[in-house]
């Protein structure tokens, strides 16, 4: 979004309200996540009042440049459906300790290149794509590429909540053929901890990729796109308009 963001949430674990944070365009300043207790926490941070004028302000990203410039990676395995927050994703399983995968849904194709330290038999990961209208607690059009750990080794649990991961990824690159410039990276490690910025970067051609070489226990990694022009019209508005 290119702006400072202060997110203050009521801390109620029974309703999955588990944290708050202060975020700047170039980095996460401070955040709090706690699923175990009902205790809140005061957070303080110093922010630039005009982040766009700072030398640390991120360069513009063409979120589909890389993904649209390569051919989809071929695979003989079948895709499968899975639900994340009432949205039906198209998934493909990561069956090797390293490789290249592509999964598509409608106009969105998601590409992943990765290398694990070891392919564990007790953990399963999947690459997923969603290109559609989200209709629960509001209606808004999304395009999402995600790499996630499934809850169990049963593929039917891909997309279900999970809190820990032991598989380490040494390298990764995630991209998608997004039809919007409003794309937001998400990168969460085991224990639902935000990944430090030193471990990843967003390239100007739209790849969320590793940068440190350190093995990371990835819980979920995603590129979350909002396609405002495909939102359904609201009362008194034309298609794709917002107030």
pLDDT value at residue 152? 98
pLDDT value at residue 241? 52
Radius of gyration of the chain (CA): 18
| Phi, psi (rounded to 5 degrees) for 53 | -90, 0
pLDDT value at residue 243? 45
Residue 231 · residue 242 · CB < 8 Å: yes
Q: 137 is in which domain, residue-wise?
A: 65-230
* Residues 122 and 34 occupy one common structural domain: no
* Residues 34 and 121 occupy one common structural domain: no
- Quick check: is 237 in a domain? no
pLDDT value at residue 238? 58
pTM: 0.88
Structurally, how many domains does the chain consist of? 2
pLDDT value at residue 53? 79
Residue 123 · residue 164 · CB < 8 Å: no
Dig out the tokens for 172 from the structure: 């990764």
Dig out the tokens for 85 from the structure: 């927050």
For the chain (243 residues), the mean pLDDT of every run of 10, in chain order, is 81 80 86 82 87 79 96 90 97 97 98 97 98 95 98 97 96 98 95 92 96 93 98 70 49
**Distance (Å, whole) CA 171 – CA 215:** 8
């Amino acid at each position: 979004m290119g702006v400072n963001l202060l997110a203050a949430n009521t801390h109620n674990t029974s309703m999955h309200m588990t944290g708050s944070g202060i975020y700047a365009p170039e980095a996460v300043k401070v955040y709090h996540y706690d699923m175990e207790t009902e205790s809140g926490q005061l957070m303080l941070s110093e922010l630039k009042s005009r982040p766009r004028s700072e030398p640390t302000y991120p360069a513009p990203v063409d979120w589909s440049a890389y993904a649209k410039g390569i051919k989809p990676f071929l695979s003989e395995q079948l895709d499968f459906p899975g639900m994340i927050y009432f949205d039906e994703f198209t998934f493909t399983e990561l069956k090797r300790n390293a490789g290249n995968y592509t999964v598509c849904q409608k106009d969105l194709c998601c590409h992943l290149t990765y290398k694990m330290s070891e392919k564990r038999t007790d953990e399963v990961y999947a690459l997923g794509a969603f290109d559609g209208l989200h209709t629960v607690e509001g209606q808004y059009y999304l395009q999402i590429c995600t790499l996630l750990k499934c809850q169990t080794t049963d593929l039917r649990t891909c997309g279900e909540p999970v809190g820990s991961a032991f598989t380490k990824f040494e390298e990764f690159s995630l991209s998608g053929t997004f039809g919007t410039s409003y794309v937001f990276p998400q990168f969460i490690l085991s224990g639902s901890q935000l990944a430090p910025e030193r471990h990843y970067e967003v390239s100007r051609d739209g790849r969320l990729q590793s940068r440190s070489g350190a093995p990371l226990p990835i819980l979920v990694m995603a590129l979350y796109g909002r396609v405002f022009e495909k939102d359904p019209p609201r009362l008194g508005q034309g298609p794709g308009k917002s107030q």
